[in-house]
Amino acid sequence: MPTGSADRDEAPVRLKGQAVAVTGAGGGIGRAIAVAFAGEGAALILGDVDDAVEAVANEARALSGANAFAIRADVTRSTDMVAMTERALREFDRLDALVTCAGLGTAGLLAEQDESAWTRVVDVNLNGTYRAIRAALPAMMTRRAGRIITISSVLGRMGGYSSSPRTPPPSTASSA
């Protein structure tokens, strides 16, 4: 008799066979998305600057037997983003979706922050998303299909917090 909650073994596998690349997959939201997508049957290319991305690929494989490959990928380097797309094409012959999760933040008074902190946050959070999308688009456009999901902080939507003098780099990058 149905209980109202779907048994995991009986639930449809909605992403079965879909090739998905995830940036920032070594931890946090990126890791959670990678594991969730693996549970839904996706084949994964997981990128991150953190070596923990290999453990996430192992976790995805153990969870569902998913094809999951880790790649050291820095969103501040266009060549790394191209390498992620190329790996998806080599392993799966296509890229169905890209999820951009790589991000970081800083806190402190703007007047006390070094300009390099501002530049780093914008380069990872904003420009990194651009680089990942730019690298993935040709593969998707060739097939005339694909999905791009960008993850950013809620800080850009929180008026009082985003205007705080203590958090300008992450809130500005989230709002951009």
pLDDT in tens, 77-134: 999 999 999 999 999 999 999 999 999 988 788 788 889 988 999 999 999 999 999 9
Q: What percent of the chain has pLDDT over 70?
A: 80
pTM value is 0.82
**How far apart are alpha carbons 84 and 92 in whole angstroms?**
12
Burial of 165 (0-12, 13-18, 19+ CB in 10 A): exposed
The conformational region for residue 24 under phi > 0 = left, psi -120 to 50 = alpha, else beta, is left
Where along the chain do its domains lie? 19-175
Class of domain 19-175: alpha beta
Q: Residue 169: its pLDDT value, please?
A: 52
Lowest model confidence (mean pLDDT) among 6-10, 52-56, 112-116: 6-10
How many other CB atoms are there within 10 angstroms of residue 20's CB atom? Answer: 26
Query: Is the pLDDT at 136 greater than 90, yes or no?
Result: yes
**How far apart are alpha carbons 126 and 120 in whole angstroms?**
10
Count of residues making up the chain: 176
Nearest-5° Cα angle at 93, 100 to 64: 65
Average pLDDT taken over every residue of the chain: 86
Look at 107 and 136; give whichever has higher pLDDT: 136
Q: Residue 174: its pLDDT value, please?
A: 53
